[in-house]
A and B are shown apart, each in its own frame.
Chain A
Amino acid sequence: MNRFLLLLPLAWRNVWRNRRRTLITLAVVAVGVWSILAFSSLLEAWARSSRDASLNLLTGDGQIHAQGYRDDPAIQHSFATPPADGALVKVLNGSHVSRWSGRVRTPGIVQSEFKTLPITLVGIDPERERGLSFIATSVTQGAYLSGTSGNGILLGQHLAHRLGTGIGKRVVLMGLGMDDALAQGGFRVVGLFQAPRDMEDSVVFIGRAAAQRLLKAPGRLSEIAFKAPTQSDLTPAIQALRKAAPSLDIQPWQILQPLTKAVSNLSDGFVMVWLWIMFVLMALGIVNTQLMSVFERVREFGLLQALGLRPGDVMREVLAESCLLVGLGVVLGVLAAVMTVGALHDGINLGFLAKGAEWLGAQHVLYPRIDGTEYLLLSVVIWGLSMLASLWPSWRAGRYSPQEAMSRT
């Protein structure tokens, strides 16, 4: 290590012996690092946007169900509203959970005077849904639900169009009640909401008490959806909830929405593929530069050994050159990526390709972020891999015998 530090000043000067070659290699490394980090931030923003878009619909960060509900979402697979002073509500009101709300959610049928269509009936507490799901902010015509027990209903815009109904008109909801008998009731359309097309077509919202009344399931809940303050709070939240209600099925979004998780994994996969492509290109540049540098200086390596440098020291000297060259390139690349992502901090508006963004499952504005830990990790990985690539030229420099090296012309 001592010798390595001693050789650093010499290595630094050797790096700048051929300025043009060094600048080209620096540019290759810096552009490579910049592209990996910036690409990683963009993909992460897309994955996060896609995840938020998906989870903000109804999933939340996690949900609580009765056992068997996920296989058969009938009202029979519901559970009693947990007592306000019980262990479960204590955890839900604790620090690992930021918002939560109980819902009734079961398959049903909506009927207008023109058409009957299958839907999912969701009974909500309108106030508690604010900040938890999309519905409170997505009503585009009419009004939001005013309470849990009224007979108002929110329909998706497209569903209303298909049913040939609208604000102020009545529709009939039908579903299987708690008593296994067909339950039905009339509801007045108070608002229309805008959401992804499949959501508009498949979900209707009524007050939670109204749903319990319709389905003859007083005090019963199909699910409790909740959000954690941050993703890192989710695991402790799930653990605490499972401990508080061991008989219930409590799952994070990764289990409830495997497709969303797959998108997140896909993003990480893309970053890794890009990292390897860029790394191979960078490694070729670095190895080429270092090999040329080594071949040009064979006599000098002989001289260094004649002066008393050990073969391992010669190898370390060349490795130190790579270390400095790649290190500088990585720093430049990181700075460029920080500036690029910083400039995009206010968001990238994908409005001009809104349909495409929707198809990709993302929101209209992406917010790339600088993840310090990820930047550091990726930089260290790139730097480490480049050092591995430099081992070959370094080894070549150290393997010449002094006599053989000095007799080279």
Chain B
Amino acid sequence: MEVIVECRNLKKRYFQGSVPVDALRGVDLQVEKGDFVSLSGPSGSGKSTLLNVLGGLDNPSEGSVKIAGQDLSQLSKGDLADLRLQRIGFVFQAYNLIPVLSAEENVEFILQLQGVGAAERRQRARMLLAQVGLTGMESRRPAQLSGGQQQRVAVARALAAKPSVVLADEPTANLDSATAESLLSLMAELNQESGITFIVATHDPRVIAHTRRRIVLTDGQIDQDVRVSEDEMAPAV
């Protein structure tokens, strides 16, 4: 299988004032194309830090990260931005959407940055919004959408760029159970049908139940890395 994400001996040290904090202590990880991976663990275990480093949003103190074979340490800030644009989709816990753009424009924005033509942009954005169940809400701005609908738009936007991998950081943290379940089913469905690789940082057991590969982080290190069979995964709703 093609390796999409690869990191070796990844370390990240922060300073809180003058006190060093080791958020990652030598993480080795390979994620293959089509994987649906959860990163779980207690608060402070390094989930979000790992996700930020994998997405090129933060630099590691030591070690290397490769996305689709490209070593992030060799890239400038601008090149990293281009890599994120072309290869990585993000879904964050909150503040996911650009508030002055409609749902459709939020999805189109990425395509516009990629230089996709207007007609194709519109068509793809509408198709993706339909895929995430938001037909008829294309012209609504984020403030006119519920939290779950906003996250769905974020997923549609993350997929719009046809990324190699989607990184989601606590995507269900602000959602009620039903909405969270619906979003997870959507992500699982997209993973299975389109073969899109998902890495989801979460401590929500409902999310973990939908993933095929379950990684548990403790104190900045991989404590468990388990693959489960289809039977052990939660069924799509």
Contact = CB atoms under 8 A, between A and B. Distances in A.
Interface of A is mostly: helix
A311 B82 CA distance: 11
Contacts of A311: 77-78, 81
Interface residues of A, number: 23
Given A10-B100, A403-B52, A305 B81 contact: yes
Interface stretch (A58-66, A266-274, A296-304): A296-304
A291 B160 CA distance: 32
A312 B77 CA distance: 10
Interface string B65-104: 0000000000001100110111000101001101111000
B191 interface: no
A139 B58 CA distance: 88
A14 B100 contact: yes
Contact of A406 (B95, B110, B113): B95
A402 B56 CA distance: 9
Given A17-B100, A406-B57, A307 B92 contact: no
Interface residues of B, number: 25
B55 interface: yes
Interface string B150-190: 00000001000100000000000000000000000000000
A309 B157 CA distance: 14
Contacts of A14: 100
B81 A10 contact: no
A402 B84 CA distance: 11
B58 A310 contact: no
A306 interface: yes
Interface string A303-341: 111111111110000000000000000000000000000
Interface string A8-22: 001001100100000
B109 interface: yes
Given A303-B92, A406-B57, A310 B100 contact: no
A293 to B, nearest CB: 12
Interface in B192-230: none
Interface in A241-277: none
Given A308-B110, A406-B57, A303 B98 contact: yes
B9 interface: no
A311 B78 CA distance: 7
Contact of A308 (B84, B98, B99): B84
A401 interface: yes
A6 interface: yes
A186 to B, nearest CB: 90
Interface string B32-64: 000000000000000000001001011000000
Given A306-B57, A402-B57, A13 B101 contact: yes
Contacts of B96: 303
Contacts of B112: 6
B82 A308 contact: yes
Given A303-B96, A307-B84, A403 B110 contact: no
Q: Which of B82, B92, B96, B113 has the most CB of A within 10 A?
A: B113
Given A6-B113, A303-B92, A401-B58, A308 B86 contact: yes
B100 A307 contact: no
B98 A300 contact: yes
A10 B90 contact: no
A300 B78 CA distance: 18
A306 B96 CA distance: 10
A247 to B, nearest CB: 70
B57 A307 contact: no
A313 B77 CA distance: 12
16 contacts: A6-B113, A13-B100, A13-B101, A14-B100, A300-B98, A302-B57, A303-B98, A305-B57, A306-B92, A307-B110, A308-B81, A308-B85, A308-B113, A308-B161, A310-B77, A310-B81
List of 3 A-B pairs having minimum Cβ-Cβ separation, nearest first: A308-B85, A13-B100, A403-B58
Interface of A: 6, 10, 13-14, 17, 299-300, 302-313, 401-403, 406
Given A308-B85, A402-B57, 12 more contacts: A10-B98, A17-B100, A299-B95, A302-B57, A305-B81, A306-B90, A307-B110, A307-B113, A310-B82, A313-B81, A401-B57, A403-B58
